[in-house]
Amino acid sequence: KPSGTTASKSSPAEVCAIDPTAIVSDACASYSTLDTLNDALSPSLKAITLSTDFFAYYRLNLYDQKCSVKAWDDETGTCGNIACKVDTLEDEQDIPEIWRVGELSKLEGPKAEHPGRQLQKERGSQKPLQGTLGENVGESCVVEYDDECDERDYCVPEDESATAKGDYVSLVDNPERFTGYAGMDVWDAIYKENCFSKESQISSASSRGEPSNPFQAHNDLRNVIQANSPSTELAVDDECLEKRVFHRIVSGMHASISTHICFDYLNQTTGIWGPNLQCYQDRLATHPERVSNLYFDYAILLRAVTKLRTYLKNYTFCSGDPSQDAATKSKILQLADAAASHPQIFDENTMFQDPDVSGELKEDFRNRFRNVSRLMDCVGCDKCRLWGKLQTVGYGTALKVLFEYDELKNGENPPLRRTELVALVNTLDRVSSSLTALGRMRDMVAKPFVPKKAAKEVGLPDGSEQRAPHRSKDRPDAKPAIDLDDDEEEVVQPYQSVSEIFFEEFYLVWRTFVYVLKSWIELPGKFFKITVFELSRLWSFWLGLPVAERSWEIQWGPRTDEL
Ligand SMILES: Cc1cc2nc3c(=O)[nH]c(=O)nc-3n(C[C@H](O)[C@H](O)[C@H](O)COP(=O)(O)OP(=O)(O)OC[C@H]3O[C@@H](n4cnc5c(N)ncnc54)[C@H](O)[C@@H]3O)c2cc1C
């Protein structure tokens, strides 16, 4: 297959037209490589996010920050209008009670208020939260002491006026899933807001007296994006490159949220939680560029965690609890080591190359992430806001690590707060879960064998069938659901007769046979094309002409589901 290609736009009937062997644009790995990596790493990631106090709780100002976008565009004054745009949240009163935010998306897990400095002093370091998160929680691993936001951060400064900076929430007990919240206007504001006008780019370049090619870094980025832009959603033009790069990250985050919504969906008629394949088709399968952006996000997040390996070796996870500290450290280092043992999946050195513009681009990113984080305060659903805020901090931290950190140095790197580390690892876990969920939903569409009644229960369109949902044991709503985070979940086995099993196996053997036969038939032609291509490259080289990039590569055979 030619490297650097992704799928063309798929028809609604297709599952997902992304070619697994294609390289994810901007990253250095193919879709199937990232899938394999995710399969290998997700158990250790789960062990970290589910079972360490340090990574299972998060501190944020969830309720006290007003939806305000004032700072984002003081000069034009348009921010007020965009702020108004998100006031559809007020309209939730029109929604039937059962669908209101208060009903569906209230935080169910333990919460604790962050103690102010004075209270912390009085309570001492062992029980600063006084058991409010549960008696078994190592509070010294959870509490973060107030510090100031560094100017170099991609983070959002918390509300300085608040006496206590935020609440602690359990991420394990507040899973990201369908809430019924309609956030289209917030997404719209997020995508619209982050664009720099062409004029500002040109003026910034001309003020430096650069007549030609002032945007080498922009062009580098544009080239890699252009190589793999399968749809109009990521259409490449010359006007706003920063927006497009930023867009990939946000769109990947959006795709991840959509995946969790579709995978853990509440069927309004039956009250059953489970995958909604129509939702998957509508929001993901028919938009390969969104899926591509999700993979891109996985690559940058994992690369950031890998880059922190040395830093994590010297990090103190919870003062005063050496055993927890050691356990947490060993788990996160195991993940970083395992990730580092694979070839690099993302090369941040291809970005921000030009010393003349890289400072501005980084500043742009920082400002945009702050703006997006501020927009998260406009999300009118507690749980969505929790995960939205966490994930923007997670991506901001990844960018900070990728572009501000030097792997070989330690003391000179900018400080990393506990919340940033927790957000980064949990954001990676969100995207990792999304890749797994996408694979499952892809399989469900591709391998239909559950009776129609069960298919209807999980929202599959008429005429389709699918696997039955898993039954989750520990959810308060205890309805059948697939829970990627629950290792002990019981799988409801779908009904399959002996003849169905036989034909399924027989069909697989047949497809394998056809595949092998076809490969042998095509082999001489492929060898001939490769020889001609290589000779033409040699010819160009000999003449001193630019040598075309190699457009073929050797790959392992397909997975069973690709046959
Ligand atoms: C920060 C945030 C967090 C949220 N968390 C949750 C949650 O946890 N649970 C929940 O049920 N709801 C959540 N929502 C709401 C949810 O994301 C959707 O807004 C809602 O389900 C309605 O979906 P939709 O299909 O109408 O379009 P939306 O997902 O709202 O998308 C709006 C428009 O954006 C475009 N678009 C969609 N996906 C992408 C993409 N990946 N890349 C580029 N463009 C895209 C499309 O043109 C689409 O019409 C959240 C919303 C926000 C803003």
- Which tens digits make up the pLDDT trace of 139-193? 777 777 665 555 545 555 444 444 556 788 889 888 888 888 888 888 988 887 6
Length of the chain: 563
Evaluate whether residue 256 is within a structural domain.
yes
Pairing of strands 57-60, 265-266: unpaired
| pTM for the model | 0.70
pLDDT-derived band at 234, boundaries 50, 70, 90:
very low
Same-domain pairing of 385 and 511? no
Evaluate whether residue 25 is within a structural domain.
no
502 has pLDDT over 60: yes
* Segments of 114-237 assigned E as strands: 167-170
Same-domain pairing of 261 and 296? yes
284 has pLDDT over 90: yes
Same-domain pairing of 295 and 383? yes
Same-domain pairing of 493 and 425? no
Q: Is 286 in the pocket of ligand 1 (CB under 6 A)?
A: no
Query: So what's the pLDDT on residue 471?
Result: 32
Same-domain pairing of 183 and 287? yes
Percentage of the chain lying above the pLDDT 70 cut:
58
In one letter, which amino acid is 527? F
Same-domain pairing of 360 and 277? yes
Question: Tokens 């690369």 label which residue?
Answer: 303
Q: 129-139 burial by CB neighbour count: b if 16+ within 10 A, else e? A: beebbeeebbb
Q: What's the gap in Å between 258 CA and the centre of ligand 1? A: 6
Same-domain pairing of 216 and 290? yes
Q: Which of 397, 372, 383 is nearest to 62 (CA)?
A: 383
Evaluate whether residue 435 is within a structural domain.
yes
Pocket test residue of 87, 99, 257 for ligand 1, highest count of atoms within 8 A of CB: 257
**Active centre residues (catalytic):** 381, 384
Evaluate whether residue 209 is within a structural domain.
yes
Identify the H or E element spanning 265: strand 265-266
Evaluate whether residue 3 is within a structural domain.
no
Same-domain pairing of 128 and 247? yes
Query: So what's the pLDDT on residue 500?
Result: 67
Same-domain pairing of 520 and 404? no
Q: What is the DSSP string of 34-69?
A: HHHHHHHHHHHHHHHHHH-HHHHEEEE--SS-----
CB 300 within 8 A of CB 249: yes
Domain boundary among 446, 477, 511: 446
Domain boundary among 419, 446, 473: 446
* Index of the ligand 1 atom closest to the CA of residue 105: 9
- Which tens digits make up the pLDDT trace of 95-106? 555 556 566 766
Q: What is the mean pLDDT of the chain?
A: 70
Structural domain that includes position 530: 465-562
Query: So what's the pLDDT on residue 467?
Result: 40
- Which tens digits make up the pLDDT trace of 358-377? 667 677 777 777 788 888 88
Q: What domain count does the chain have?
A: 2
* Index of the ligand 1 atom closest to the CA of residue 184: 30
Q: Is 257 in the pocket of ligand 1 (CB under 6 A)?
A: yes
53 has pLDDT over 50: yes
* Secondary structure letter of residue 493 according to DSSP: P
Same-domain pairing of 371 and 250? yes
Domain boundary among 446, 473, 502: 446
Same-domain pairing of 312 and 396? yes
Evaluate whether residue 6 is within a structural domain.
no
Same-domain pairing of 411 and 485? no
